[in-house]
Amino acid sequence: MLARSFDVVRDGYNEPMSISDDWNLERDTADETLSVQQVADRIQALLKRGFPAPFWLAGETVGLDQTRRGSSARGGHWYFKLVDDKPAGDRPASLNVKMWRRTVDRLFGARGRYKGRIEPADGVVMRVLVKPDFWPPGGQLSFTIEDVDPEHTLGNLDRQRREVLARLEAEGAAAWNKARTLPEVPLRLGLVTSNGSAAHQDVLETLRGSGLGFEILFCDARTQGRETVSSVCAAIRTLAALEPDALILVRGGGSRLDLSWFDQEQVARAVARCTVPVLSGIGHEIDTSIADLMAHTHCRTPTAAAELLVARVREAADGLERARVGLVEHVRRTLDEQQAWLQRAGRELQSATSVALLDAERFLGTCVPRLEELAGRALSTASDDLHQTRSRLVSGAHVEQVARLEASLGLDAARLASLSERVLTSRETSLEAAAQRVRLLDPRSVLARGYAYLRREDGSVLMDTTTARDEEKLTAVLRDGELDVVAGEARPNDPDQP
């Protein structure tokens, strides 16, 4: 006789049950032939006796993602496998399991009992309440899921999270990416998320709607399911090699199970070791993954990550604009001060020149009479000396010598008078030339002759037609006022025109 013992879990407690089967395996079956149906009936009887009530089963899910994506073709039912998450050998044991559509809706539908708490996916250890089911037409043994224990799954996730976080904290990994320098103007950005997702759209709309010149390098990655780990790590490495200013890692909201992939050690290390600053926005405001903790900056949502970068660039742009305005104002103020100084210097130079000319004229006026008086005195003295000498020297030889001296004195007197006149004329000419130069240097004299100069809006003077911009607004300064003009096409000078 066959006697076997099974441990059946009912309502959370293990109740050993001894189940005996009346089927004698030692019976001589050489003369007995069983039909397939008879074997199937005996298997069902054994299962019914061995598992008289549903029992709890724990294992890692395999093939769940694929069956969920094709659930409409399967009538909404889920078919997948449960395997030992810690197998004893190279080939772990596996069981076929299924969840009927009514159970799927009851547990995970729009109003399901566990909606928002967990969302089953491949690679997750689940504890499920099952009962065996043998399907004779297919000769298949499977187990039908009637309920799920979310606390078991979430408890495993929390334990794994604590273990990963403890290892990373022991290495100081949380400080690695935070040590990277986020540029003041981060315009070249790498984006890692699922293409077409809400997070993808939110980030792009925020960055493009800012009107700033962002360059976005996008790399598509799975953000849910087992492929999340490999695809996110590969995307981070790919974008980091392109050396953007910063990298954005985002995912929209989801269940605790959906977001648990960002607690995986491989993802966390990829973020921590990234060579550029990583801004993370994973899940809702209340969610914080290990990847968030390893990032340079943790933002509460994908939109918040984009808004942070927009605010940083806009602040830098506002600072540059303030500097530009300040520089223009400083240059304009300096030009005004220099122009005022030149005008004062011109007036002072004109006044000083006029005073100098008047002083020179008065000095010359006093020099001429004095020079004439001195010359007359000298001539008179010389004439007296000659007469005295003549009277003393009445001899023929002396008379001749006196005549020569008189002739020489006459020539000297004529030369002295001529030299005095030339000196006075030269000084008057020099003074007149200096006065003329002063009058020519006066800007008002230039404008009074019909000339004008063009001033730009920033206060500078237009010196060359090649520097004028088409349709540039200018101000023409004339002797009696100003005119607003607009620059047109420059024409070369006509050599025949003055």
For 359-414, write each residue's pLDDT tens digit. 888 888 888 888 888 888 888 888 888 877 777 666 566 667 767 888 888 888 88
Confidence of residue 6 (pLDDT cuts 50, 70, 90): very low
- Tell me: pLDDT of 3 over 60: no
Q: Are 377 and 370 in contact (CB under 8 A)?
A: no
- Tens digit of each residue's pLDDT (9 = 90 or more) over 56-109: 988 888 888 777 776 666 788 989 889 887 766 667 888 999 999 999 889 888
Confidence of residue 259 (pLDDT cuts 50, 70, 90): confident
- Tell me: pLDDT of 225 over 90: no
Neighbours of 388 (CB within 10 A): 10
Q: Are 119 and 257 in contact (CB under 8 A)?
A: yes
Of 133, 149, 140, 119, nearest to 59 by C-alpha is: 149
What are the distances in angstroms from CA 315 to CA 245, 281, 298, 306, 310?
Answer: 16, 21, 20, 14, 8
- Tell me: pLDDT of 331 over 70: yes
3-state secondary structure of 11: coil
Indicate the range of 40-44, 117-121, 413-417, 474-478 predicted with least confidence. 117-121
Angle between the N-to-C axes of helices 198-209 and 302-392, in degrees from 0 to 180, rounded to the nearest 10? 20
Ranges of beta strands (E only) in 370-455 are 453-455
Confidence of residue 490 (pLDDT cuts 50, 70, 90): low
May I ask the CATH architecture of the domain 172-300?
Answer: 3-Layer(aba) Sandwich (3.40)
Domains 2-157 and 172-300 share a fold: no
- pLDDT, position 361: 84
Task: Enumerate the β-bridge partners of residue 297.
Answer: 279
Confidence of residue 7 (pLDDT cuts 50, 70, 90): very low
- Tell me: pLDDT of 262 over 60: yes
Indicate the range of 170-174, 285-289, 418-422 predicted with least confidence. 285-289
- pLDDT, position 363: 85
Q: Are 159 and 263 in contact (CB under 8 A)?
A: no
Q: Where are the domains of the chain?
A: 2-157, 172-300, 336-441, 443-498
Residue with the larger pLDDT of the pair 365 and 277: 277
Q: Are 343 and 351 in contact (CB under 8 A)?
A: no
Region 272-289: mean pLDDT is 88
Q: Please tell me the distance from the alpha carbon of residue 301 to that of residue 203, in angstroms, as a whole number.
A: 10
- Tens digit of each residue's pLDDT (9 = 90 or more) over 404-427: 888 888 888 888 888 888 888 888
- Tell me: pLDDT of 496 over 70: no
Q: Please tell me the distance from the alpha carbon of residue 332 to that of residue 343, in angstroms, as a whole number.
A: 16
Q: Please tell me the distance from the alpha carbon of residue 493 to that of residue 364, in angstroms, as a whole number.
A: 48
pTM, two decimals, is 0.50
CA angle 308-314-315, nearest 5°? 90
- Tell me: pLDDT of 183 over 60: yes
First vs last C-alpha separation in the chain: 133
- Tell me: pLDDT of 196 over 50: yes
Confidence of residue 493 (pLDDT cuts 50, 70, 90): low
Q: Is the domain defined by 2-157 classed in CATH 3.30.9.90?
A: no
- pLDDT, position 9: 35
Residue with the larger pLDDT of the pair 268 and 464: 268
Token pair for 179: 């040590």
